[in-house]
Amino acid sequence: MKEKKTQFASRLGVIAVMVGTAVGLGNIWRFPYEAGANGGAAFMLLNFVLVFLLGVPLICGEFIIGRGSGVNVRQAFARLGGKNRGWGLVGYIGIASSVLILSFYSVIAGWTIEYFVESITGFSGATTTVELHENFERFVSSDWRPVMWTWIFLGCNFLILIRGVQKGIERLSSIFMPVLFLLLIVFCIHSLMLPEAGEGLKFLFAPDFSCLTPKVVLSAMGQVFFSLSLGLGALITYASYFKQETPLVKTAAVTAILDLLIAILAGVIIFPAVFSFHQEPTAGPRLVFEVLPSIFVGMPYGQVWAALFFLLLFLASLTSTLSMFEIFVAYLEQEFGLSRFKAVSVNLLIALVLSALCSASFGTLSGFRIFGLTIFELFDNFTSNILLPIGGLLIALFVGWKLPKSLVMKELEKGTRLQGGAPGRSGSSFVNEAILLSLRYFAPLCILLIFLWGLLKP
Ligand code: PHE
């Protein structure tokens, strides 16, 4: 086996990059509006259950493939899949998903830069909800400004990625993630002190199960996949940089818990504000870009709060897109022997073109629809609700049924007290068995059922 040269330097660094990929627009932008549109607390509870029953085992599954092979997502399946070459295709699905997600994700990330700047300049003088709505519409549908920010955002990724995995991705995540966490806490405290915070918390925490339709359950699963960066090989790629002593289950659990916690914190920040200022929680993707600014402008030091909030969104997005890039970059480097600079450049060029199309689908191309969806909506729905669950299903089947049980258990035991075949006295051997059971039966069945149910009965 080829010797691995690229590795993350420290345990804390691993947690920072893992939380970095997981925490992003998915938690702070997507989760609140999905929860808002799908009944609040019931959606959140479902999300919670799925994170542990499906999310953690699947994260472990990706880790096992990544560290077990030590290579990029395409070669990992080919290498571990033995003679059956069909498995190599799973890697290509992952690479395709990463390119598509990066394209639409960068557009929203670009908006965060515009809104950071607008916060400082006072939202072009807009103060009422109507004015802020018009301001948002004018911006997203204009020709060059959103594309410019999207490209600047992609440029930031480029500058970090060419520095390498340790000096670029790991170092940056280790600095940004604690800053992000601190900012979130400050916002939370602030939100909880608002006059009608209780209403917002009730919406977020008191479930109404009549909201749980098949479409809501499918959206919740899509959200779990998206938020944990699952099903496309981001975690396979990162795990190929893990050291042998990195404990997989613990890392997976910490990532999932922090990701969930941050989504809840985002809800705690947003809904009390929405209710206190009499806004609609079901505003959809516009929620953080229209509703929040209307709240900020009415607050003391509103500009500072707004700027901080959009800075937070920008940082969270950046650490996520780094991992999307890394999937294709690692593949190009290892499969074609490209230098890191060239590999990052190829990915950047593709992203520049596709993201411009996604951005234009809010303006010039808004009439261009496939299956009734704009390019942006198509990329978003097709990846989160279809490609990622299919990827997840195949990953679960691959680890559960194709890989030898001995390899799976060995990977799960590395770095824990069970290592070296010590008799399983602690709870961790039970946990490892449960993870394998989920990957064999629960995860594939659950994904398949929710998937078919959601597609057939929208
Ligand atoms: N998990 C990220 C978020 O919540 C999005 C993401 C998806 C990142 C897929 C990498 C891969 O924003």
Residue whose Cα lies nearest atom 6 of ligand 1: it is: 229
CB count within 10 Å of CB 169 equals: 26
Distance separating alpha carbons of residues 363 and 136, to the nearest angstrom: 12
At residue 457, the pLDDT reads 56
Cα angle for residues 281, 53, 428 (degrees, 5° grid): 135
Q: Which residues contact 415 (CB under 8 A, 6 or more apart)?
A: 244, 245, 246, 247, 248, 250
- Comparing 259 with 455, the larger pLDDT belongs to 259
| End-to-end Cα spacing for the chain | 47
Average pLDDT over residues 420-430: 64
pLDDT at 456 over 90: no
Residue whose Cα lies nearest atom 7 of ligand 1: it is: 229
Q: Which of 17, 153, 226 to mutate to test the pocket of ligand 1 (most atoms within 8 A of CB)?
A: 226
Question: How would residue 421 be classed by pLDDT, with cut points 50, 70 and 90?
Answer: low
Ligand 1 atom closest to the CA of 29, numbered from 1 = 12
pLDDT in tens, 325-370: 999 999 999 999 999 999 999 999 999 999 999 999 999 898 888 8
Residue whose Cα lies nearest atom 11 of ligand 1: it is: 229
Question: How would residue 422 be classed by pLDDT, with cut points 50, 70 and 90?
Answer: low
Burial class (CB in 10 A: 0-12, 13-18, 19+), 130: exposed
Alpha carbon separation from 440 to 139, 233, 436 (Å, rounded) = 48, 19, 6
